[in-house]
Every structure is written in C-alpha cells, then in structure tokens.
Amino acid sequence: MLEWALHYIDLIEESRKERSDQEPPELSEDEKENLIAEFHPDHSASDRPVQIGANAGGTPIPQELADLLEADSLLPKHFKPATDIETDVLIIGGGGAGASAALELQASGLQVLLATKLRLGDANTVMAEGGIQAAISSEDSPRRHFADAYVGGHGDNRVDLLKQLCEAGPETIQWLMSLGCQFDRNPDGSFRQRSGGGTSTPRVMACRDITGLEIMRVLREAVRQSGTPLLENHSAIELLDNGEGQVTGAVFWNRKDNKLVSVSARAVLLATGGSGQLRLQGFPTSNHFGATGDGLILAYRQGCKLDHVDTFQFHPSGTSFPEALAGQLVTEAIRSIGAQILNAEGKRFIDELTYRDVVASAIIKEVVEGRGIKTPSGRYGVWLDTPVIEMKQGPGTLKNQFPGLVHRFGRYGIDPTVHPILVYPTLHYQNGGVEIDLQGRTTIKGLWAAGEVSGGVHGRNRLMGNSLLDILVYGRKAAQSIQNQLPERAALGLSALESFRAERDRLGLSGNQSPQLFPVAAQVKVNLEEMVADDSSSTTETSPQSASTAFEPRDPFA
C-alpha cells in the first residue's frame, strides 16, 4: 500500500530515535499570528459579504455559505402548512445536543418530538475521537479552562457563554457517568486526563479514541428508553412562524416516503450541527453525511443573526492517504501522547501541541513551499509519525489506546504502529453559528439553538474536547429554558419566508435552493414541487385524527 512512499519512510525511520526525545520547534506569538494570517484558509480571500438578512453587508463569510444563505427555499411557492403532528417541544437534530435536550425534558411532562435528517445518533458527535474537557483535577479549575479556551479562541469568544461552559464541565461529566458512560482510567484507578493542543494542564477525558461514540451510543440508548417519539429520516426544510415573529413549528421532508410533514410546536430547538460537508475551498471534511449547515439557513430566514461564521476550524490531521479515508479525522490525542509531524525531508516544523489553527497553517505552509508529500491520487500531506509512540511509550500503546485508528487503517493494510500516517488539514468544525444567549435562546421567540449550530463560545479557534462539552451543556441549558418559558401554541405560517422571498426578489437574487441537506457529491435529488398538489392545503394524506393526536412512540421490543 505504501510502496510509493518507501523512500520517505526510510528517511523517517533513520531519524526516529534521535527525534524521539527532542523538544518541538518553538515559534513566537508573532510568528504564529503571521502563520495564520498567511496560510489559514479563513484568510484566503475567498470570502464575501452576504447580501440579504441580518448579516447583510457585514463581515465577509465563505462564499459557499453566502450562496446558501441567499438561496431560495426548497418549498414550493404555493405550499400552505397545516398541522400534521402536534407537540410541545420540537427538537431538530439527533446528535449530542438534541439527545441531551430530549433527556433533560424527559421528566418535564411535556410532549417532546425529536426529528432528525438521518437516524438518531448519526451525527458529528459519534465521530468525535479525542475527548471532552472538564476541570476536575486539583491543579485545575474552570477559570483555567476558561483562560485556555479564551487564548485559543484569540480572545474573540463570547465571554459569558464560555464562562458558563467551563463552570458546567465537572457536573456534565458526572451526568454522563450517571447514564453509564465510561472514561479511561490510570493504572491507579484515577481518571486519565490528557493534554490537548492549548491546554495548560491535562484536562481531556476520553474513552480510548472513540469518546464521541461512547457518549453518543449511551445518549442514544437513554433517549430510546425514554420513549421520546422520533422522526428519523426527516429533513427540516423550513421553520414555520405565526406572522408576529414567533417560531411555531417546522416543515420536514420525509425522505423514505417522499412526503412533506408539518409539525406544530410551542418551542423549537435547533440542534442541527455543523457544515463540514460544504467542503469550503474544496477541502475534504471529517464531518458526517448530513453536516450541511441546514440550521444556519433555517434560522437566518427567520431573522436570526449569525455570529462568527467567517471562521471555521480546519483540523490539522485529516487523513490524506489512502484515498478512501480522505478527510477523515486522526485524533489530536495521538499528538498528545507524542506523535510527531514531519515534512518531506523528515523534519519537524511545528510544536504538535500548539493551537489547531496554528498547526493547520504550518502544514499548509510546508505543502505550499514544496516540502509536502504528494499521494498517487494527487492529494498532499505531511507525515504523522505514529510508530515513535510505540518507541517511547512501549509496544501495544496504539492498539490499546487508539483501537479506532488501528482498525480503520488496518482495513487498508496500513499498520500505524509500523508506518507513519499521511495527514493534511480537513474541514472539521463550524466555529460560528446562530447567536444565542446563556439559556440557548435565539433572538426569535420560540426558537432555541444548541451545539455546533450556535456560535460564539469558541471564538475563532476551538480547543480539542470543548465541542463535546458544548453540545451537552447547551443542549441541557436550552431544554431547561424551554421548560421555564414555554410559549403558548400559535398559528402555523410562512410569513418569515414570504418576507425573505420578497427581499430576494427586490435584490434580484437568483440561483440555487437551500438548505443543501446532503453533500453535493452524493447527488441526492430533492424535488418537492411534485409533492404539493396546487389546490391542497395539507400535503400529507393524514386523517383528522392522526393529525391532531400525539405521535406514537416506536415499539422498543420490535
């Protein structure tokens, strides 16, 4: 498999012993800032201001996102919503934020419906590898956690949101444990905490290199057992409102049955996640199949402001080879325990544990300046020397602590204990998103947002392990806020969309439709026109009875 790269690998093997104990190259703060300004994709000058909506004429944002924000709705013009399903709380999104909100609402007595584009748990959460941050050691504190994340975010974080996030860390871990999540321990039985890029003290708790899988499978189980009704394979197409600035529900496209479904709700929680599948500037992504930023589009049409959407995280170590794994994540935790990054000359060029945006920029610089490695498929990358870990920490370390990595590469005949891995930055995380307050409320009545779809808490660069914490903390906060401030049910309409369309016409905008729903490469056809007969007010053939009663929970023993 790696025959084409043997001369590089020889070079790496020769220098491994000598390198293994060396300190990484140090850069000054100015050098780091310059590296970012010159090489980080956020600064590639391919951004433009969006022309419509709450962010109109503001900070330039990636053009791929601007195009989608300006695009027309997928809903046919003559579509009129009529209640097919009624619920108190509608959660849109089946990842960690949506699931933890559903669990928090379990004992509220409210009727909760969780709708998701794929299946419950098919989300970026399940793909998270390295861990979750929480200040639980005696040398640590939520203040120190805050300071690390604030410096990592270049001081551009929403201070109130970040303070609340860090303070909620220990209690959140406790909550996960009460649900049955297992975290790695040291031989003495204490919980193992690793360093991540930019942590000043070891703070990252993990379950091997599959922390997101451990958390998501436990949350998914708990949600299934809670009896919360689910609408799986339902893509949110548009939010509904009452014409007086209150969100009152949403329209979904049931992909399996090819029908439109309107849900009336007293509160809507957007937990739709990120947008890596937009593949900004042609970058590959570590994100799941459905990460197309749909929540941003839906909230924006309701008048929500988007915060920090000019900044995205490119994870330094996305896979470059083999081609089948292109873009997939190689966890930062592997650098925490000593993996080194090397250029084509077999030399280290960056401190592997500095901030993600700095490491990613440094890798791009090496490639731009001709010190990268080209794969047979034409991708570029630099080496991540994983065998050095076995040399330093003893044989078996990788298999034991990184079973996911060893398994994935093993499928392609690459053994990370023997051979280095080729990596290049991959589009990983949406730093910005819908503006929220401390309770997860958006600026629009009836609409809450939590997790990656919201923005501001991580500033311009998120630290490892802070998004798993974010989705849980803010998923639960939003659920509590919804319980305490549930608006009365109100009419279903599309007046926000109608104003948006009128504004589009005024500005002469044309072009595509959004939300995108799936990766462009997947070529999923979405045509809702034929689904709506001209004279019908409701889109589904639901009887009055089923339209007004609660949704049946699925049989847990089926």
Residues with active-site annotation: 315, 335
For 32, what's the count of Cα atoms within 13 Å in the CB-facing half-sphere?
18
Q: Is 99 left (phi over 0), alpha (psi -120 to 50) or beta?
A: alpha
Considering only residues 430 through 459, tell me which ones interact with other proteins, judged by CB under 8 A: none
Task: Provide, rounded to whole angstroms, the least separation between the CB of residue 132 and other proteins.
Answer: 12
Number of residues that bind other proteins (CB under 8 A): 78
Considering only residues 272 through 331, tell me which ones interact with other proteins, judged by CB under 8 A: 286, 288-290, 322-324, 328-329
Task: Provide, rounded to whole angstroms, the least separation between the CB of residue 376 and other proteins.
Answer: 5
What is the rounded distance in angstroms from the CA atom of residue 445 to the CA atom of residue 486? Answer: 10
Q: Where are the alpha helices (DSSP H) in 384-484?
A: 387-393, 397-401, 403-410, 466-484
Nearer to other proteins, 395 or 553 (CB): 553
Residue 489 is given by DSSP the state: P
CA 385 to chain centre: 27
Task: Provide, rounded to whole angstroms, the least separation between the CB of residue 317 and other proteins.
Answer: 14
Considering only residues 506 through 535, tell me which ones interact with other proteins, judged by CB under 8 A: 518-519, 521-524
CA angle 174, 180, 181 (to 5 degrees): 70
Residue 259 is given by DSSP the state: E
What is the rounded distance in angstroms from the CA atom of residue 334 to the CA atom of residue 353? Answer: 10
Backbone angles phi, psi at 52, to 5 degrees: -135, 155
x/- string (CB under 8 A) for other proteins, residues 380-409?
Answer: -----------------------xx--xx-
Nearer to other proteins, 333 or 444 (CB): 333
Task: Provide, rounded to whole angstroms, the least separation between the CB of residue 503 and other proteins.
Answer: 33
Considering only residues 181 through 240, tell me which ones interact with other proteins, judged by CB under 8 A: 181-183, 191, 200-201, 207-208, 210, 212-213, 217-218, 220-221, 224-225
Nearer to other proteins, 446 or 465 (CB): 465
Among 22, 44, 46, 377, binds other proteins (CB under 8 A): 377
Which tokens belong to 116?
Answer: 């998701």
Among 101, 105, 115, 126, binds other proteins (CB under 8 A): 126
Which tokens belong to 287?
Answer: 């994100």
Residue 281 is given by DSSP the state: G
Considering only residues 330 through 369, tell me which ones interact with other proteins, judged by CB under 8 A: none
What is the rounded distance in angstroms from the CA atom of residue 79 to the CA atom of residue 532? Answer: 7
Among 34, 44, 46, 174, binds other proteins (CB under 8 A): 174
Which tokens belong to 461?
Answer: 């660069």
Q: Residue written as tokens 């609340």?
A: 164
Task: Provide, rounded to whole angstroms, the least separation between the CB of residue 336 and other proteins.
Answer: 17
Task: Provide, rounded to whole angstroms, the least separation between the CB of residue 413 and other proteins.
Answer: 10
Considering only residues 134 through 173, tell me which ones interact with other proteins, judged by CB under 8 A: 136, 138-144, 146-148, 150-151, 154-155, 159, 163, 170-171, 173
Task: Provide, rounded to whole angstroms, the least separation between the CB of residue 455 and other proteins.
Answer: 18
Among 37, 38, 119, 418, binds other proteins (CB under 8 A): 119
Nearer to other proteins, 398 or 482 (CB): 398
Considering only residues 40 through 79, tell me which ones interact with other proteins, judged by CB under 8 A: none
Answer for the pair 200, 467: CB distance below 8 angstroms, yes or no: no
103 contributes a contact to other proteins by CB under 8 A:
no
Q: What is the 3-state secondary structure (H, E, C) of 530-543?
A: HHCCCCCCCCCCCC
Task: Provide, rounded to whole angstroms, the least separation between the CB of residue 144 and other proteins.
Answer: 5
Residue type for 192, please? R
Nearer to other proteins, 27 or 509 (CB): 27
Among candidate residues 392, 390, 393, the one with its CA nearest the CA of residue 415? 390
**In this structure, what is the dihedral angle of CA atoms 211, 216, 218, 224, given to the nearest 10 degrees?**
-170
Nearer to other proteins, 289 or 499 (CB): 289
What is the rounded distance in angstroms from the CA atom of residue 29 to the CA atom of residue 151? Answer: 11
Among candidate residues 516, 555, 528, the one with its CA nearest the CA of residue 67? 516
What is the rounded distance in angstroms from the CA atom of residue 153 to the CA atom of residue 355? Answer: 9
Nearer to other proteins, 66 or 231 (CB): 231
Q: Give the interface segment with other proteins, choosing from 49-57, 180-188, 504-512, 530-538 (CB under 8 A).
A: 180-188
Nearer to other proteins, 44 or 225 (CB): 225
